[in-house]
Every structure is written in structure tokens, then in C-alpha cells.
């Protein structure tokens, strides 16, 4: 069984983890694809392909061609931009017998829009970070006591913490929103920040595994240092959320703790960069994926077994490869 990871970039560990899972579950190849022929992960995979960027014409056609060429069984997305794009073209992959390791389009679209995410949580009486996209609504939130300064202003479709601004007054808020582009406004709820990695079985739809980490250093919006946490309240909140949504495969949830209360923030319907911590702690989502692609169910979640208080300290590595 062959599995494709698109837009792999420097995610060498992801490729290594998936190769090991395939080896342990009957064999197969990991094919890595990226627009940059010097992406380190391309030289770690069993085979590699150079494809267009996600915003270039022909991206989907090239990915489909890679699937035909390598007899791909499943695609594992790892990049924000490719997730909705692949989900929109699911039928084309279905016709080739290729499974997208991804939630359905409606869920993906909800996750990719921060305002829709908040509305989704609010409708289900789940604690989300209050989110507004209009100045008048933010001012009304101030009057009702739902908002207070400092506030966070960030691009509506932002990623990797790009364009995030902290504003301390109405004047700064108005100035931030006067810039070109679409923005959202949120309260700055951040005593502590957590990331939750969860895997939802693609056959049964049941939660299979869950890992909580507290983030204490971020690099380019990705977790570079974190510590494992076992917290029943946060675990229960995440389980409640997952039980009310129709996720499939790996998801990455950002949460804040503020004044002793937990808030669900962003939801990424894909692997998060901090998943390395979960894997090294024993949460082997790659094996779950391989089993699901074989049509097998994974056992449902019975509680976490990872150790509390173990830190992940990410560091750079080097790949040498002769370029022909």
C-alpha cells in the first residue's frame, strides 16, 4: 500500500513515522511531493515527486497524476492551503480509489474560517474564544462586557501567527482594522496555551487517541517546545467537542486557559506541527491511518496512557543528498 504526503517541506519526521507504520503493518511506500525540489523530506521518502504549489494552476491535476503513477491508496495533507483544496476535489480522488485522510468538506470549511468555528462552538454551548469581524460588533461586545482590552486582531484567513496584532485601545483597534484585508477581533485570552492532537477513526467515526501539551515556545506559528499535560477537564471538553462534530483522521486543536477557564480556539483538520510530541509519547496516529486505509477499525479511546510532564524540545537537523 502506497501513501502520499503532499507539500511535505521539511517534515522529515512525518515521513519517517509513516514509513515505520507501513513497515509494521504489511509494507508499502511513502511518496513525498513538494513544489521545491530541495525540500528535505523528498530525500527521506521511498519516492519523491515535484508538483506545483497549491496556488498554481494544475496542482490538483498533478496530484491526481502522482496518484495514478504510484498507485496511491491514501493522501495525508499537512499544509493549511492544501486541505480545503483537496476536500473540494474529493470525488476525483474517490474515482481513483484514493482516500483523503481528511474530514468532509463542510467540517474543513468550518475549521478554516475562524468566525465559523466560533459560531459552531457557540451553537453547541461549547466555550470558544469570542470572535468578531466587524468593528461595530466588537464595540458592542465591549459594551456588553464580552470583550476588553487588550484584544487580538488577525487576518481572517491567517496562518502561522502571521499578521497578528495586539491592540490596547479603541484607537489602536480602529487603526488595525483600517488596513487592507479582512480581519477578526478576539479577546487576548492567554494565561496558558495548549495544543491537543486527536485521531478520529475514519471507519467507525470514534475517537481513537488524544494527547494534550502545553506550549511554551512557538517558532513561525509552530510549536517548538512543549510539555505533556494530563488534565481531565480539558480532556472532557475536547471529547465533548469531537462527539458533536464529524471529524475524520488527525486533527489539531488550539486551546487557551484564562482565569481558570478553558476555551477552544482554532481547529486544524490535519496534523499539527507539534504532533511530533504526541508520537514520541506513544500516540501513533500513523499506524491508525494505515489500518484505516486497509479498511480496519482502530480500538476506541480508553483514556490516555502517555506520561505527564515530559517536554519536547525541537531542534534543526541536516539532510545531505547528491543532486543530479
Q: How confident is the model at residue 188 (pLDDT cuts 50, 70, 90)?
A: confident
Q: How confident is the model at residue 162 (pLDDT cuts 50, 70, 90)?
A: low
For residues 34 and 71, state if they share a domain: yes
For residues 73 and 163, state if they share a domain: no
For residues 224 and 176, state if they share a domain: no
Domain enclosing residue 304, as ranges? 190-313
Q: How confident is the model at residue 63 (pLDDT cuts 50, 70, 90)?
A: very high
> Do the domain assignments include residue 173?
yes
> Do the domain assignments include residue 114?
no
The residue out of 171, 187, 203 marking a domain boundary is: 187
Residue 214: pLDDT above 70? Answer: yes
Read off the pLDDT of each residue in 119-143 and give the average, rounded to a whole number: 87
- Grid cell listed for 70: 504510484
Q: How far apart are CA 259 and CA 177, in angstroms?
A: 28
95-124 b/e with 16+ CB inside 10 Å = b?
A: eeebbbbbbeeebbbbbbbbeebbebbeee
> Do the domain assignments include residue 278?
yes
Q: How far apart are CA 191 and CA 189, in angstroms?
A: 7
Supply the CATH number for residue 249's domain: 3.30.470.20
Q: How far is CA 164 from CA 136, 146, 287, in A?
A: 20, 20, 36
- Give the model's pLDDT for residue 161: 57
CA 91 to chain centroid: 22
Q: How far apart are CA 232 and CA 240, in angstroms?
A: 12
For residues 180 and 196, state if they share a domain: no
For residues 211 and 223, state if they share a domain: yes
- The per-residue pLDDT for range 263-300, each reduced to its tens digit, is 999 999 999 989 999 999 999 999 999 999 999 999 99
Read off the pLDDT of each residue in 225-251 and give the average, rounded to a whole number: 96
pLDDT, the chain, mean = 92
For residues 286 and 308, state if they share a domain: yes
For residues 205 and 295, state if they share a domain: yes
- Give the model's pLDDT for residue 172: 84
- Give the model's pLDDT for residue 52: 96
The residue out of 58, 86, 102 marking a domain boundary is: 102
For residues 204 and 183, state if they share a domain: no
Q: How far apart are CA 165 and CA 181, in angstroms?
A: 14
DSSP state of 173: H
> Do the domain assignments include residue 92?
yes
For residues 136 and 78, state if they share a domain: no
- Give the model's pLDDT for residue 159: 58
Q: How far apart are CA 39 and CA 9, in angstroms?
A: 5
> Do the domain assignments include residue 308?
yes
What domain count does the chain have? 3
Q: How many CA atoms lie within 13 A of 170 on its CB side?
A: 9
Between 178 and 44, where is the model more confident? 44
> Do the domain assignments include residue 148?
yes
Read off the pLDDT of each residue in 96-107 and give the average, rounded to a whole number: 97
Supply the CATH number for residue 142's domain: 3.30.1490.20
For residues 309 and 194, state if they share a domain: yes
For residues 168 and 195, state if they share a domain: no
> Do the domain assignments include residue 10?
yes
Does the bond joining 150 to the residue before it have cis omega, within 30 degrees of 0? yes
Amino acid at each position: 500500500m502506497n501513501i502520499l504526503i503532499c507539500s511535505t517541506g521539511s517534515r522529515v519526521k512525518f515521513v519517517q513515522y509513516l514509513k515505520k507504520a507501513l513497515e509494521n503493518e504489511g509494507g508499502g511506500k511513502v511518496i513525498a511531493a513538494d513544489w521545491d525540489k530541495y525540500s528535505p523530506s523528498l530525500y527521506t521518502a521511498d519516492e519523491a515527486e515535484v508538483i506545483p504549489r497549491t496556488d498554481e494552476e494544475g496542482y490538483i491535476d498533478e496530484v491526481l497524476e502522482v496518484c495514478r503513477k504510484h498507485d496511491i491508496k491514501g493522501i495525508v495533507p499537512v499544509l493549511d492551503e492544501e486541505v480545503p483544496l483537496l476536500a473540494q476535489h474529493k470525488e476525483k480522488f474517490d474515482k481513483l480509489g484514493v482516500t483523503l485522510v481528511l474530514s468532509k468538506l463542510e467540517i474543513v470549511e468550518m475549521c478554516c474560517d475562524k468566525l465559523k468555528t466560533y459560531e459552531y462552538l457557540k451553537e453547541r454551548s461549547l466555550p470558544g474564544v469570542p470572535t468578531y469581524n466587524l468593528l461595530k460588533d466588537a464595540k458592542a461586545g465591549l459594551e456588553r462586557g464580552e470583550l476588553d482590552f487588550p484584544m487580538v486582531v488577525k487576518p481572517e484567513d491567517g496562518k502561522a501567527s502571521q499578521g497578528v496584532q495586539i491592540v490596547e485601545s479603541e484607537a489602536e483597534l480602529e487603526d488595525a482594522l483600517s488596513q487592507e484585508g479582512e480581519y477578526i477581533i478576539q479577546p487576548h485570552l492567554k494565561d496558558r496555551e495548549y495544543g491537543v492532537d486527536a485521531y478520529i477513526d475514519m471507519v467507525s467515526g470514534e475517537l481513537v487517541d488524544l494527547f494534550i501539551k502545553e506550549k511554551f515556545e512557538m517558532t513561525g506559528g509552530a510549536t517548538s517546545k512543549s510539555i505533556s499535560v494530563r488534565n481531565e477537564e480539558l480532556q472532557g471538553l475536547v471529547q465533548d467537542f469531537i462527539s458533536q462534530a464529524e471529524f475524520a483522521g488527525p486533527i489539531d486543536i488550539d486551546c487557551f486557559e484564562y482565569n481558570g477557564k478553558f476555551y477552544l480556539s482554532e481547529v486544524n483538520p490535519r496534523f499539527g506541527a507539534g504532533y511530533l510530541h504526541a508520537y514520541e509519547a506513544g500516540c501513533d496516529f500513523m499506524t491508525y491511518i494505515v489500518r484505516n486505509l486497509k479498511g480496519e477499525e482502530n480500538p476506541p479511546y480508553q483514556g490516555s496512557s502517555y506520561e505527564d510532564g515530559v517536554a519536547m524540545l525541537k531542534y534543526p537537523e541536516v539532510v545531505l543528498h547528491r543532486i543530479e
